[in-house]
Homo-oligomer: A and B are copies of this chain.
Amino acid sequence: MGRTVYSVEKYKGLSPAEFFYRNKEMAGFANPIRAVYQTIRELLENSLDATELHGILPEIEIHISQLEENIVKIKVKDNGIGVPEKEVPLVFGRVFYGSKYDLRQTRGVFGLGIKMALLYSQITTGKPIYIMSSTTQSPIIYEYALMIDISRNIPIVLKHNIYKKTNNFHGTIVELMLEGNWIGARKRILEYIKRTAIIAPYAKIVFKAPNIDLKYDRVTKILPEPPKYGKPHPYGTDIEMLKRLISGCNSSLTLREFLLDMFEGIGEKTVKDFLKWAGLNGSFRIKSFTLNELNILARKLREYPGWRRPRAIPLSPIGEKLLKEGIKKILKPEYVTAVTRKPSSYRGHPFIVEAAIAIGGEVPLLDKPFLLRYANKIPLLYDEGADVARKVLDSIKWNYYKVKFPNRIAVIVHLCSTKIPFKGVGKEAIADVPEIENEIENAVKDCARRLRRHISRTERIHRLRQKKTIILKYLPEVIRSLKIITSIDENILKQKILKILERELKKRSLVRVNE
C-alpha cells in the first residue's frame, strides 16, 4: 500500500568538447573516411584564411602518409600570418575559441574544426598534435605538442619549444595522426582540392600522398579584396545584441549617437526618420534604458521598413574574371560565363551570390547539370540533396535555355556571407532561405541566358556554314548564267560573288540573337 517510488534522474553538465566528442558525426567526423576528409578540409581552410584574408598569396603544402593499415599522418604547411605564441594552445585545444567570430567573410566560423581534428586524433591514436608557427613580426618560431582535456575543454601542453628565426618564415605547420581510411577518402579529397583550386586560382597548392604528387600553380597573382570588419544591421537586432553593444558604450551616449555609431546602414537622415517612425526620443541616454525599453527598441529596429540594405564591405567575392580563370584552368571548357550579383541581405546579414556555367571540355557527361557548390570559398561536397542550390537547379527548365541532356554542363554556385545558413556544424549544406534561393536563381539564370545566346550563335554559324556549302555547290551554274547575261569574265564574277557571300555570312553570324 506504500507510495510508488520512482527512479531518480542523474543530472550533469557537458563541456562543449565533450558534447562534440559524443556527437562527432555532426562536425563531419562520422567515420574513418569522413574523418580524413574533414581533417584535411579544416587544415586547408585555416591555411587559406591565414593567408588571403591578410593579402598574402597562399602557398600551401599538404603531405599525407599512411603509417599502418588504418593510421594516417597528415601535415599541412602554410605561409600565413601565423598564430600568436600564447594563443596556440587555445586556438588548437579549446572548442569554441577562435578569431573568426566577427562580422566578415571567413571560411572558418565556428571555432570547432581544428579542435575536432585534434580530438579525433587523440581518441583514436593517443597521440598529440604538433604545431609550429611564427607570426610575421615575430623573431622566434615556436613549437607545441598539444592534447585536449575533453571533460574540461582545456588544452594540455605536452611540449613547448622556442627557436630563434633564421629566415623570414611566417605561417603555421600542423602535423597529426589519426585512425582513418585514406584509400576510401582519396577520391573526395582530390575532388575537394581541385574545387578549391577553381575558387582560389591565386593559391599555390602542393599535395603529396602515397602515389600522388599534385601541384596546382596559381594562374594569377591578383587576390580579391580582403573583407573588412562590418557592423550589425538593424534588421538582425535582438535584446542580447543591444545589451552587448551598450555594455561597451560611454555613459553619456544618446540613443541617436548609439544608432549612428553602432549600426550598418544608419546615417543622419535615416536615424531621424526612424526615431520619428518609432516615436522614440533620440536624446535619451542609451545606458539608462530598462530591459523593457530595450525590448521595444529591438523590435522597432527589426520592424522599421526604411533601412538601407547592408553594404558588402565584410564580403570578399571572387569576381567574374577570377572565377572564369579558375574554371578554365581546371575544367578546360569550350565556353564559360560567370556573374557576380549585387549585394543582397537576409535578416540583416549581407550576402553575394556568384555563379558560372561551363560547357564541354572536362565537364562530366551527365543527365543533369553537374553542380559545384561553394560557400565563402569552401567547396561543399556532401549532402548536395539537402542544399538550396540543388533545389534551384532542379527547378530550372533547361530546354528553355537550349540545353539538352545528357550534356557536359557544369554550374558553379558561390555564396558569400558574414553568416552562411549552414544546416550543420559540418558545413555541408545551405538551408533554403528565400532571399538566398532567389538570388541563386537569378545568378544561374543570368548565366543560362548568356549560354543560350552562345548556343544560338553556334547553331546559327552552323546553319550559315551549311547554307554556304549549298550555295557553293550551285555557284558554277549561276556564274555561267550570269556570264551569258552580263558578258563579264567568269573569274571576276566568281570572286565578286564569293566576297559578297563571305561578308554576308560573317555579318549574320555576329548578329546577337534577339531573345
Q: List A residues at the B interface (Cβ < 8 Å).
A: 3-16, 18-19, 21-23, 25-26, 30, 54-56, 81, 84, 87, 90-91, 94, 96-99, 101-102, 110-111, 122-126, 136-137, 150-151, 179, 238-241, 244, 291-292, 294-295, 298-299, 383, 385-386, 421-425, 429, 431
Residues on B with beta carbons closer than 8 Å to the beta carbon of A25? 421, 431
Give the residue of B241, B294, B386, B425 whose beta carbon is less than 8 angstroms from that of A385. Answer: B386
CB distance B30 to A102 under 8 Å?
no
CB distance A94 to B13 under 8 Å?
yes
Query: CB-nearest residue of chain B relative to A55?
Result: B6
Q: How far apart are the CA atoms of A431 and B122 in the complex, in Å?
A: 25
Residues on B with beta carbons closer than 8 Å to the beta carbon of A21? 240
Q: Chain A contact residues: over half helix, strand or loop, or mixed?
A: loop
Residues on B with beta carbons closer than 8 Å to the beta carbon of A19? 16, 96, 110-111
Q: What 6 A-B pairs are tightest by C-beta distance, nearest first? A: A126-B295, A9-B99, A123-B238, A386-B386, A13-B97, A14-B96
Q: How far apart are the CA atoms of A125 and B244 in the complex, in Å?
A: 16
Q: How far apart are the CA atoms of A422 and B24 in the complex, in Å?
A: 11
Q: How far apart are the CA atoms of A98 and B22 in the complex, in Å?
A: 14
CB distance B425 to A81 under 8 Å?
no
CB distance B126 to A294 under 8 Å?
yes
Residues on B with beta carbons closer than 8 Å to the beta carbon of A126? 239, 291-292, 294-295, 298
Known contacts A126-B295, A239-B123; A90 and B11 CB within 8 A of each other: yes
CB distance B6 to A101 under 8 Å?
no
CB distance B99 to A10 under 8 Å?
yes
Q: How far apart are the CA atoms of A26 and B425 in the complex, in Å?
A: 8
Residues on B with beta carbons closer than 8 Å to the beta carbon of A151? 244
Q: How far apart are the CA atoms of A101 and B15 in the complex, in Å?
A: 12
Residues on B with beta carbons closer than 8 Å to the beta carbon of A3? 136-137
CB distance B56 to A91 under 8 Å?
no
Give the residue of B6, B11, B136, B239 whose beta carbon is less than 8 angstroms from that of A81. Answer: B6
Of A19, A151, A425, which is in contact with the most chain B CB atoms at under 10 Å from its CB? A19
Residues on B with beta carbons closer than 8 Å to the beta carbon of A150? 240
Residues on B with beta carbons closer than 8 Å to the beta carbon of A424? 26, 423-425
CB distance from A201 to the nearest CB of B (A): 22
Q: How far apart are the CA atoms of A421 and B15 in the complex, in Å?
A: 20
Known contacts A124-B238, A431-B30; A101 and B291 CB within 8 A of each other: no
CB distance A6 to B56 under 8 Å?
yes
Listed by A's residue number, 15 A-B pairs whose Cβ atoms lie within 8 Å are: A4-B136, A6-B136, A7-B81, A8-B84, A10-B102, A11-B98, A11-B99, A13-B90, A14-B101, A15-B96, A19-B96, A19-B110, A25-B431, A30-B421, A123-B241
